[in-house]
């Protein structure tokens, strides 16, 4: 299948927002999505962006039945490990179901790895749901490993009212 991987631009935010919702529906957590197209435009394409993105795009002859040519994306941002230095965190990696198994997900992840290495990063970090066996198997096949089982780390979160309480002096 013919496709290209390219840097996302502000005009892609509508499609990124659509695919974020598709991913959330697949993960059965769509009620948690609060981000809007406008948020993506502001947070990803302002003077100091909070994230970067790449898009997988197919030519018009391969567009979806709904007319979409943007069929996958990855969002990432740079982080820092106090043990090993520069890192890249891949927040999302998504390919629309009809386009899976064609190397597009691997190409997106490979591009995030290339961009990270070009920025001096020595690791890529991301999360995957434990029940999502196809994705877990894919990431393992790319040389990734599960730090929860190998090092015992768990991803923790503080949000909402708990975050507001925590932020009080």
Q: What is the 3-state secondary structure (H, E, C) of the chain?
A: CCCEEEECCHHHHHHHHHHHHHHHHHCCCHHHCCCCHHHHHHHHHCCCCCCEEEEEECCHHHCCCCCCCEEEEEEEEEEEECCCEEEEEEEEEEECHHHCCCCHHHHHHHHHHHHHHHCCCCCEECCCCCCCHHHHHHHHHCCCCCHHHHHCCCCCCCCHHHHHHHCCC
Active-site entry in 3, 73, 89, 139: 139
153 given a catalytic annotation = no
Active site amino acids: 139
């Amino acid at each position: 299948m013919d496709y290209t991987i390219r840097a996302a631009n502000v005009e892609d935010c509508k499609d990124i927002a659509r695919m974020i919702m598709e991913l959330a529906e697949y993960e059965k957590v769509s009620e948690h999505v609060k981000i809007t197209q406008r948020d993506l435009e502001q947070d990803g394409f302002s003077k100091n962006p909070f994230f970067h993105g790449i898009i997988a795009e197919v030519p018009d002859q391969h567009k979806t039945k709904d007319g979409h040519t943007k069929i996958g994306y990855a969002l990432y941002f740079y982080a820092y490990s106090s043990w090993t230095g520069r890192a890249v965190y891949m927040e999302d990696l998504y390919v629309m179901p009809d386009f899976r198994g064609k190397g597009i997900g691997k190409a997106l992840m490979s591009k995030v790895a290339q961009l990270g290495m070009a920025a001096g990063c020595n690791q890529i970090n991301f999360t995957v749901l434990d029940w999502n066996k196809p994705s877990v198997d894919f990431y393992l096949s790319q040389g990734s490993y599960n730090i929860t089982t190998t090092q015992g780390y768990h991803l923790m979160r503080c949000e909402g009212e708990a975050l507001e309480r925590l932020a009080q002096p």
